[in-house]
Chain A
Amino acid sequence: KAGVTQTPRYLIKTRGQQVTLSCSPISGHRSVSWYQQTPGQGLQFLFEYFSETQRNKGNFPGRFSGRQFSNSRSEMNVSTLELGDSALYLCASSKDLAGGSDTQYFGPGTRLTVL
């Protein structure tokens, strides 16, 4: 079974631009979560989606948004990029943790560099 895939793996943007990152969960998984990893702040939760609905959201500004499609694939968008948005963005999928004891599996991440 293929793992969680994220595209692109690396991205370089300039301040003020916007970016869209994509995540394809493991087949059969309906829950997708996004995390931001930086050296200063560590791993921080961005959003959680289940069945195309945002179920939970972290403490990030409105420039960060996301969505989930009917096939469970998810995208996140960051508008008006700032230097501090440079980070590794990780996507994770599960069947549905909130419903039970399942575990969350992570993709390799997208490394975003903002210049």
Chain B
Amino acid sequence: GEDVEQSLFLSVREGDSSVINCTYTDSSSTYLYWYKQEPGAGLQLLTYIFSNMDMKQDQRLTVLLNKKDKHLSLRIADTQTGDSAIYFCAERGPNTDKLIFGTGTRLQVFP
């Protein structure tokens, strides 16, 4: 089935690390993505990971993938107030552009 789940809300202090979690169900997923959405805006691609990788780092962002448990996480180091937004994980299967999105996690960063 197609079901991607995320916790709804995360609140962190500025300068701390944030970890946003995602679980998915489709074992045939080839790529998994993280998108950011700010109020009134579209989706901004943050990073993605191929399903045969278990980690990817890109500046302040670290993606961890546990394919056995179908668990994906996004760690944001040194979280800033500008990181406040909704974060969506998404999975894509083979031979399609179709993305299945998670429910989104609202990240709030306070000073």
* Residues of chain A whose beta carbon lies under 8 Å from any beta carbon of chain B: 4, 31, 33, 35, 42-45, 48, 50, 55-56, 58, 90, 92, 94, 96-98, 101, 103-109
Interface residues of B in 43-101 (CB under 8 A from A): 43-45, 48, 50, 88, 90, 92, 94-101
Decide: B48 and A98 in contact? CB cutoff 8 A. Answer: no
Q: In the bound complex, how far is the Cα of B44 from the Cα of A4, in angstroms?
A: 11
* Residues of chain B whose beta carbon lies under 8 Å from any beta carbon of chain A: 31, 33, 35, 41-45, 48, 50, 88, 90, 92, 94-104
Decide: A97 and B104 in contact? CB cutoff 8 A. Answer: no
24 contacts between A and B (CB under 8 A): A31-B97, A33-B97, A33-B98, A42-B103, A43-B101, A48-B96, A48-B98, A56-B96, A58-B98, A92-B97, A97-B92, A97-B96, A98-B94, A98-B95, A101-B31, A101-B50, A103-B33, A103-B45, A104-B33, A104-B97, A105-B45, A107-B42, A108-B42, A109-B41
Q: Smallest distance from the beta carbon of A81 to chain B beta carbons, Å? A: 22
Question: Would A33 and B42 be within 8 Å (CB), given that A43-B88, A101-B31, A106-B35 are in contact?
Answer: no
Q: Smallest distance from the beta carbon of A12 to chain B beta carbons, Å? A: 16
